[in-house]
Amino acid sequence: MPTPEPSFTPDPALPEGGVTRRSFLRTSVVLTTGLAALAASLKPLLEMNDFPTAERFLQKYYKEMTPDGMAKVIKRIENEVERQYGIRPHVRDLKPMDGVEFVYCLNLTRCIGCRKCVHACVAENNQSRNPEIQYIRVLRLPDGSLDIEKAEHNYAPESVPEKGYFYMPVQCQQCKNPPCVKVCPVHATWQETDGITVIDYDWCIGCRYCEAACPYWARRFNFTRPSIPKERLNPDMAYLGNRPRRQGVMEKCHFCIQRTRAGRYPACLEVCPAGARKFGNILDPNSEVSYILKNKRVFIQLKEEMGTSPRFFYYFDV
Amino acid sequence: MLAGLSAIFVALAVGFLLDFRGPATLLYPIPLVATNFLDTATVRRSYADLVRAGDDLSDFDCYACHEKGKPPKLRFDADEHLIVPTEHSDIVMGHGSHGRNNNCFNCHNENNLELLQTRDGHEVKFADSPALCGSCHGPTYRDWEAGAHGRISGYWDRDLGEAQRKACVNCHNPHSPRFPSRPPAPGPHPLRPVAEGTAPSGTPSNLGNERVSRVGRDSWRAVVAGTPKALARGDARPTGAAVELAAYPTH
């Protein structure tokens, strides 16, 4: 009696096609290698050091925040700063004042190019010391010219001022028609009613469009985590101002919002030994800046032809 | 598809293991700026400042040496330049460019040395010296009164606080008023180390396109290896030796 040929009946538990030993082994080898490789390729993540907390990740846009929400956010920021620097800061959300529009005037006759404003600004606004971020760049120009392409940035003489040169500090011009605001894809930067263009550092995605759009090279990007020595941290902070920034966001001069919206002069003005910097409310006819624009030889808004209409004016004595 | 993904991951993994991104550009040490560049003090201190601070006023105590009611005699050399007496050797007569302002009593009151006087004979106290300066420098005085010349600190919003306006003599030495020169604060540091002698002058430091650092888990540390020269050449690699930046000397 011939033995009945064993007929192959597929296991009903197996899906169509089934898994053979060969296909199982092949799949697992590929999968294991793949996963191992995936893990290895995520290695750069290990170098990341600033994962957002759920709180920060879910935080609302500045303009949509309720006062309660803002209070919570401020508490979170204060906690974060205290954890990182061991100093409890005082963070405020200062709003623009009514009937105030800020204007800055800089006297080119008086500026001696000592760069004190640059460093007072860094100290006031908690910029990264390494890598170095500075909002103000002082240009040295030969007398009788105004070609800023030929400006010297790295002058380092024994003493300033030097014969035959004048100095022109450039910082954010707080334009009335700011190109940087137009290009921001997420509205993380905008112009406030007092004329200050601000940035919500927690809303910025770091695309750097604004940096490209700015004709004054006023915007700076945090390529790395900013580093500030504890003893140089300024604990008087504002949400839209000098609170510490993260890696991957833009920052720029905001007319020392934490000072000016509390009625004080900006840090760069107070440190200027020559009194070349003037700041105030242009809507007040008795302010210094009103006097200067009315009576002094105000000769430029930088790159006037761009149509940005800066709130930063350069003027001369005589 | 799985095989394709795996191949990509394998390629990436091999890439990272072989470090295809090349050595990281290192954070090289930047000294902290010296605190004197952050100082908001004025160049000089006025008489009013000294009184306010309760400091030494002996420089203004004229009758410690001079005799009251007896105007001191001025001596001039052959070129009619004032001879500054040795007791006042700290004074450089440099007010006015052609030696025209060549007489102490253009500004000082010869009958009462503790007072100043304008050219038309009005007496002015040392504490009110801007009025004396303004008697000649009218347009500058007008600008100063409006806040457009000279230093101001404090509050731009006078409803919230006071503004302190500095006097002429806070910046100008009345005997030689040219604003003094001073050493400039350090300039910008380029983002990347540049080889010595090749630093491009006249170009902004490139806060631009370079990947800066793959170190820096601890925010105020930079991992450096080798000599500063090796760093400058850019061929140093991280070894894990950490240097406290805060310990670097300041400018």
**Looking at CA atoms only, how far is residue A37 from chain B in angstroms?**
5
Q: Which of A106, A99, A105 is nearest to A283 (CA)?
A: A99
All residues of chain A having their beta carbon less than 8 Å from the beta carbon of residue B207 are 131, 133, 220-221, 223
The DSSP symbol for A118 reads: H
Q: What is the mean pLDDT of residues A180-208?
A: 96
Q: Are A279 and A292 in contact (CB under 8 A)?
A: no
Q: Is residue A45 part of a domain?
A: no
In chain A, which residue's Cα lies nearest the Cα of B246? A229
Nearest-angstrom CA–CA distance, A195 and A176: 7
Chain B residues with CB inside 8 Å of A259's CB?
Answer: none
Whether residue A119 and residue B214 make contact (CB cut-off 8 A), yes or no, is no
Task: Tell me how close the Cα of B31 comes to any Cα of chain A, in angstroms.
Answer: 9
CA B31 to chain centre: 18
- The answer to whether residue A86 sits within a structural domain is no
Q: What is the CATH number of the domain that holds A178?
A: 3.30.70.20
**In Å, how far from its chain's centre is CA B94?**
23
Nearest by CB to residue B185, choosing from A31, A114, A262, is A114
Do B216 and A225 make contact, defined as CB atoms within 8 angstroms? yes
The verdict on a CB contact (< 8 Å) between A47 and B214 is yes
Q: What residues pair up with A141 in beta bridges, in sequence order?
A: A166
DSSP strand E in chain B: where? 115-117, 123-125, 152-154, 163-165, 221-223, 242-244
Q: What percentage of chain A carries pLDDT values higher than 90? A: 72
Enclosing domain of residue A172: 102-316
- Between chains, do A115 and B151 touch, taking CB under 8 Å as contact? no
User: Phi and psi (nearest 5°) for A148?
Assistant: -70, -10
pLDDT of the residue at A39: 84
Among partner residues B6, B156, B222, which is closest to A30 by beta-carbon distance? Answer: B6
DSSP A217: -
CA distances from B64 to A31, A173, B21, B46 (A): 97, 55, 77, 20
Interface with B, mutate which of A87, A128, A223, A313 (most B CBs under 10 A): A223
Q: How many independent structural domains does chain A possess?
A: 1
Tell me if B184 and A274 make a contact (CB, 8 A cut-off).
no
Q: Which residues of A touch B205 (CB under 8 A)?
A: 153
- At B79-122, the pLDDT tens digits run 888 889 998 999 988 888 777 788 899 999 989 999 999 988 89
pTM summary value = 0.79
- What does the mean pLDDT of chain B come to? 76
d(CA A301, CA A88): 40
Write the ipTM: 0.81
Q: Which SS3 state, helix, strand or coil, does residue A33 take?
A: helix
Residue A241 within a domain: yes
Residue A33 included in any domain? no
d(CA A167, CA A138): 7
What pLDDT, in 10s, does the model give residues A1-46? Answer: 566 666 666 566 565 667 888 889 988 998 888 888 888 878 777 7
Q: What is the 3-state secondary structure (H, E, C) of B179-230?
A: CCCECCCCCCCCCCCCCCCCCCCCCCCCCCCCCCCCCCCCCCEEECCCCHHH
Closest residue in chain A to residue B217, using alpha carbons only: A49
In whole angstroms, what is the distance from residue B104 CA to residue A184 CA? Answer: 64
Residue B195 has pLDDT above 50, yes or no: no
At B3 the pLDDT is 81
Task: Report how far residue A260's alpha carbon sits from residue A198's, in angstroms, rounded to the nearest whole number.
Answer: 13
Residue A91 lies in a domain: no
**In a domain? residue A34:** no
State the helix-helix crossing angle for B129-136 and B138-145, rounded to 10 degrees. Answer: 130
Per-residue pLDDT of B114-171, as tens digits, reads 999 998 889 999 999 999 999 999 999 999 999 999 999 999 999 999 999 999 999 9
Task: Please state the φ and ψ torsions of residue B214, each to the nearest 5 degrees.
Answer: -110, 10
Residues of A (13-52) whose Cβ lies below 8 Å from B: 27, 30-31, 33-34, 36-41, 43-44, 47, 49
Q: Do the beta carbons of residue B226 and residue B59 sit within 8 Å? A: no
pLDDT digits (tens, 9 = 90+) for A88-125: 999 999 999 999 999 999 999 999 999 999 999 999 99
User: If contacts are CB pairs under 8 Å, which of residues 267-306 in chain A contact chain B?
Assistant: 269-275, 278-281, 287-288, 291-292, 295-296
* Confidence at residue A40, expressed as pLDDT on a 0 to 100 scale: 80
- Chain B residues in contact with A265 by the CB 8 A cut-off are 152-156, 163
Checking if the pLDDT of B211 tops 60, the result is: no
Contacts B210 to A, Cβ<8 Å: 223
Residue A70 domain-assigned (yes or no):
no
**CA A27 to CA A30: how far, in whole Å?**
5
